[in-house]
Chains A and B, each alone.
Chain A
Amino acid sequence: MDAEIQGFCDALETLDRARADAIFDEAISKAALEGRSPIDVVTALIMPALSEIGRGWHEGALALSQVYMSGRICEQLVEQVLPPSDPDRKRQPRSAIVVLHDHHMLGKRIVYAMMRASGFELFDYGRMELPELVERVIADRLRVLMVSALMLPSALKVRALRDALDARGYPLKIIVGGAPFLMDNALWREVGADAMGRDAAEAVTIITGWMEAAR
């Protein structure tokens, strides 16, 4: 791994905010001198670092609290250089994240921070029940919906979401994530999702892959 990315990862994992700030600021300054935009730094530094941290959690080397705090730090860094209205954020499919039927918000908060820290703009729907969610998805003309679940009954509700959208003839890419899907690798297909993110960074990878495939 690139020494700069490794150093940034180390700073995030140890919650060394000052060091993370310094590495990021230096990368932004260097990019400006070379005529590159802040989104290039997000792509070259933050996204690979968060991906590495996500992989570390999935492999058991890091804890969820480190993923959460890393996402928070990076989200704040990106907000400083890439405001919500920045044109660089506009190339993405209309996306949202939601907690369906569940009451556990941490997973959503982590993924939302990861997406924002990776330069994505997306709706945060908070917590919703099925009928309200279907109407909101259609009204917002979403293309991608991320559903975070901690409880098994909530994970199983994704099936009803898919069926309701199919009944309305509305095409939507659904990415699911959370403990029930990690415990049962077959569950995401069973509920009709298009993909499962094993960690927050994978959601970014999956959507980026879909964007590239659509070009």
Chain B
Amino acid sequence: MDSMTRTLTTLGHRAPDRVPLFLLTNLQGPKALGLTPKAHFADARNVIESQIRLAARYQSDCLFPFSYASLEIEAWGGESIFIDDGPPNAGAPIIQRPEDILRLTPPSIDAARCLHPSLEAIAALKAHFGASIPIIGTIVSPFSLPAMQMGMGAYLDLIYERPDLWARLMEINEVFGVAWANAQLQAGATAICYFDPVSSPTMLPPALYRQTGHVVARRVLPQIKGPTATHFASGLALPVLDEVIATGTAALGVSALEDLGALKAAARGRLSLLGALNGVEMRRWTPAEAEAAVKANIAALAPGGGFILSDNHGEIPWQVEDETLLAISEAARRWGQYPLTWVDDERG
């Protein structure tokens, strides 16, 4: 079974040959080539080469040519502030005052040259691997993008105090988000990861999510011309699981802090789960601890299919060692073979 078939089988809530492993190694790309993140992501050729190398080394079941979240802010005229050992941050907010929203227009994908290396990388990886392995495109959801456009505190103030301007901002962001997702699909991406951390109950009360992020997702996801996976980037999800399912998304990124048993029970047969290895702890795992974590995730989330093993944030930290990722990959192969008889055996 190839990676694509394995993934599609589990997304169909059936058991494939083994649990698919999505190692989201965008930050390992610069390390693999001995480059800084800034130098690495500036040239599509680096991303192509590092993804090919990392796919061979870790035997991941997906390619992840994602660069960094603030790339989208660059498309809006903002800037990224790079560091040498992690993802860049968005620079000064492009929306300094709520009224700035009224003069904002969505950038076109053609004009936003900073986005083009990502599209080139997706197209080249598609040409190299064909349809044997999923290529994951990404967008920051139109609802969560303002955390970088204006800063999180100012965005919460906007949601609570200026619903008129919030609605206007969503209109603008949705145009860009849909276009950016569809450009990646057109370039060869198999699916889009819809990063939407502000929608998590960790950030917003479920009742407010139902009036805001949920409404946006229900408008946006049907316009994306391919499958999507929603990711709350370590945020909790269980209290809004039914609403997430109602958006039509195919999978959900799971936090390591979630009640995995309860989430699996609620999602079984309805929504596939992606996670939930703790990326921060991963930095100090021994190979034995990595194996134990893989086993715990498989035992909780893999029975019956509908599960992809991955980290819980949607990005493995720069500081995670190669040895640890190899141990995760090996453990996923060893303990992820269906049928998962060892799970029943260990439960007694």
B149-184 interface bits toward A, Cβ cutoff 8 Å, 1 = contact, 0 = none: 001110010011000000000000000000000000
CB of A102 within 8 Å of the partner chain? yes
- A-chain residues with CB within 8 Å of residue B279 when the two chains form the complex: 183
Given that A64-B202, A152-B319, A183-B278 are contacting pairs, would A103 and B234 also be in contact in the complex, using a CB cutoff of 8 Å?
no
| Beyond A104-B152, A184-B284, A190-B284, 20 extra complex contacts between A and B, CB < 8 Å | A63-B202, A65-B156, A65-B205, A105-B151, A151-B87, A152-B86, A152-B283, A152-B317, A153-B83, A153-B85, A153-B318, A156-B319, A179-B234, A180-B280, A183-B257, A183-B278, A183-B279, A184-B280, A186-B284, A187-B280
Q: Closest approach, in angstroms, between the C-beta of A47 and any C-beta of chain B? A: 22
Listed by A's residue number, 7 A-B pairs whose Cβ atoms lie within 8 Å are A60-B236, A65-B156, A65-B208, A105-B152, A153-B85, A182-B257, A183-B278
Q: When chains A and B are docked, how far (Å) is the Cα of A97 from the Cα of B63?
A: 41
- Count contacts on A: residues with CB < 8 A to the other chain: 28
A69 adjacent to B89 (CB under 8 Å):
no
Residues in B whose Cβ lies below 8 Å from that of A104: 89, 152
- Contact A69 to B160, CB < 8 A, known contacts A103-B81, A153-B318: yes
Q: Is A62 an interface position by the 8 A CB rule?
A: yes
CB of B203 closer than 8 Å to a CB of A: yes
Q: Known: A152-B283, A152-B317, A183-B279. Is A69-B151 also a contact (CB below 8 A)? A: no
Taking CB atoms, residues of chain B closer than 8 Å to A66 are 205
For A15, the chain B residues whose CB sits under 8 A away are: 160
Contact with A along B119-162 (1 / 0, CB 8 A): 00000000000000000000000000000000111001001100
Residues of A within 8 A of B89 (CB): 102-104, 151
Cα distance A103–B92 when bound, in Å? 9
Name the CB-closest residue of A to B198.
Answer: A65
Complex alpha-carbon distance, A143 and B328, angstroms: 43
- The 0/1 profile, CB within 8 Å of A marked 1, for residues 197-231 of chain B is 00001111100100000000000000000000000
Contact of A65 among B90, B204, B236, B278 (CB under 8 A): B204
Closest 10 CB pairs of A and B: A103-B89, A183-B280, A153-B86, A106-B152, A184-B280, A63-B205, A184-B281, A106-B153, A63-B204, A64-B203
A81–B45 CA distance with the chains assembled, in angstroms: 61
Of the candidates B86, B153, B160, B284, the one whose C-beta lies within 8 Å of that of A151 is B86
Cα distance A68–B89 in the bound complex, in angstroms: 22
A180-195 residues at the B interface, CB under 8 angstroms: 180, 182-184, 186-187, 190
Q: How far is the CA of A83 from the CA of B81 in the complex (A)?
A: 38
CB-CB under 8 A for A184 and B278, given A63-B201, A63-B205, A65-B208: yes
Indicate whether A109 reaches chain B with its CB closer than 8 angstroms.
Answer: yes
Contact B153 A68 (CB under 8 A): yes
Closest residue of B by beta carbon distance from A103: B89
Give min CB distance, A128 to chain B, whole Å: 14
Instruction: For B201, list chain A residues within 8 Å (CB).
Output: 60, 63
Contact with A along B277-292 (1 / 0, CB 8 A): 0111101100000000
